[in-house]
């Protein structure tokens, strides 16, 4: 059983099934309380809500629906790359190391790559811990001999896991961070997170999927689909924060918008006030003018040369890249040392 030095560990259930270890930690385990940091974000001149708040149970399901949209090419394109090159990308890796997935979500990607890999155990780290449990259950049925660990943890503030991963075995670990979620971080933060992953890997490997820069029409359609699923995903954040902050946002006062900021190479998603809005929560309030916005997400797009340089800056000396034919998405495999 894992012991935690931190009082943030709220619950440990070492054996839900013989191989399913559930380590549930308060997902919002940052120094400041979620309500406090949400209020601070709403009071900024450009109001903001961090994208991690998209992922309550409904939000996680809406994101899954997004990945099935025609316009949302990243998930499908990344899958294509894994289908074509997965045997090389993962099959090459030494066996019997822990595999750690960051943002494991539904664990569907892990499920597929476990056919190529032979890890000693699987560790899923996910802010929507409850949502991940369903995926872990499925994994435990498909791979009954693989020890599974689920960790509810918010790593947007860093990877200082509030317990000692050495309990899962020392030596190199393989990290998997698919889906271009690194795009949520500004370049300086992304570098820090990659450095933290490099440390966490203990000279193992990082496999990371990152979206590329492409025609603006394709990018913008992916974040503003005709069915309005992305709009629902964006608006749902207000429902979620109403619960956390006890605020009184009305969904119908807001509309979704998404555009590509070419200068910064990022999609920006905002919620725009349809009219003057005043919202209040215990201890605070904010007024919005008509058309004033709340920033809810950056999704950075990286050219492979630039992302390779970032990985090297983070300490990964060897970087390989796989892309699809139109270079719509890229998968990187990075090592500190060349594996034998």
Minimum CB distance to ligand AVJ smaller for 72 or for 281? 72
Shortest Cβ 251–ligand AVJ spacing (Å): 17
d(CA 224, CA 66): 10
Shortest Cβ 16–ligand AVJ spacing (Å): 27
Shortest Cβ 297–ligand AVJ spacing (Å): 6
Minimum CB distance to ligand AVJ smaller for 212 or for 299? 299
Minimum CB distance to ligand AVJ smaller for 184 or for 201? 184
DSSP string for residues in 207-226: EEEEE----HHHHHHHTS-T
DSSP string for residues in 90-151: HHTSPSS-EEEEET-TT-HHHHHHTTT---SEEEEEESSHHHHHHHHHHHHHH-TTS-EEEE
Please identify the residue of the shown chain whose CB is closest to the bound ligand AVJ: 299
Minimum CB distance to ligand AVJ smaller for 119 or for 183? 183
Residues 6+ apart with CB under 8 A from 129: 24, 25, 27, 150, 151, 152, 153
With CA atoms as reference, report the closest residue to 23 among 39, 42, 4. Answer: 4
* Assigned token pair, 100: 């750690």
Shortest Cβ 11–ligand AVJ spacing (Å): 26
Minimum CB distance to ligand AVJ smaller for 74 or for 86? 74
Residues 6+ apart with CB under 8 A from 232: 62
Q: Which residue has the tokens 């000692």?
A: 164
Minimum CB distance to ligand AVJ smaller for 223 or for 281? 223
Shortest Cβ 313–ligand AVJ spacing (Å): 22
Shortest Cβ 17–ligand AVJ spacing (Å): 29
Kindly list the residues in this chain that would bind ligand AVJ in the complex (CB under 6 A): 66, 74, 179-181, 183-184, 223, 230, 297, 299
Shortest Cβ 181–ligand AVJ spacing (Å): 4
d(CA 160, CA 172): 18
d(CA 280, CA 39): 10
Minimum CB distance to ligand AVJ smaller for 118 or for 192? 192
């Amino acid at each position: 059983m894992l012991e935690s030095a931190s009082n943030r560990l709220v619950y440990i259930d070492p054996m839900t099934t013989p191989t399913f270890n559930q380590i549930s930690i308060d997902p919002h385990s940052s120094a400041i309380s979620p309500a406090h940091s949400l209020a601070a974000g709403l009071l900024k001149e450009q109001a903001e809500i961090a994208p991690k708040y998209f992922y309550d149970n409904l939000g996680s399901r809406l994101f899954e629906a997004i990945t099935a949209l025609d316009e949302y090419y990243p998930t499908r394109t990344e899958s294509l790359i894994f289908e074509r090159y997965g045997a090389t990308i993962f099959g090459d890796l030494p066996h019997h190391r822990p595999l750690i997935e960051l943002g494991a979500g539904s664990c569907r990607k892990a499920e597929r790559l476990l056919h190529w890999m032979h890890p000693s155990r699987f560790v899923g780290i996910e802010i929507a811990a409850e949502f991940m449990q369903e995926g872990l259950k499925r994994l435990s049925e498909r791979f009954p001999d693989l020890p599974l660990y689920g960790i509810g943890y918010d790593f947007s503030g860093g990877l200082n896991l509030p317990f000692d991963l050495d309990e899962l075995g020392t030596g190199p670990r393989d990290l998997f961070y698919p889906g271009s979620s690194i795009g949520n971080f500004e370049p300086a933060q992304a570098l820090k997170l990659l450095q933290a992953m490099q440390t966490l890997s203990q000279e193992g490997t990082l496999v990371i999927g990152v979206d590329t820069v492409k025609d603006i029409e394709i990018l913008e359609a992916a974040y503003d689909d005709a069915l309005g699923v992305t709009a629902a995903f964006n608006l749902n954040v207000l429902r979620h924060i109403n619960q956390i902050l006890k605020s009184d946002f009305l969904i119908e006062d807001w509309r979704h918008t998404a555009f590509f900021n070419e200068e910064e190479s990022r999609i920006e998603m905002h919620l725009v006030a349809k009219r003057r809005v005043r919202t209040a929560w215990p201890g605070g309030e904010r007024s919005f003018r008509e058309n004033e916005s709340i920033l809810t997400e950056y999704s950075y797009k990286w050219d492979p040369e630039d992302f390779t340089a970032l990985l090297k800056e983070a300490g990964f000396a060897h970087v390989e890249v796989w892309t699809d034919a139109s270079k719509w998405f890229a998968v990187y495999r990075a090592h500190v040392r060349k594996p034998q």
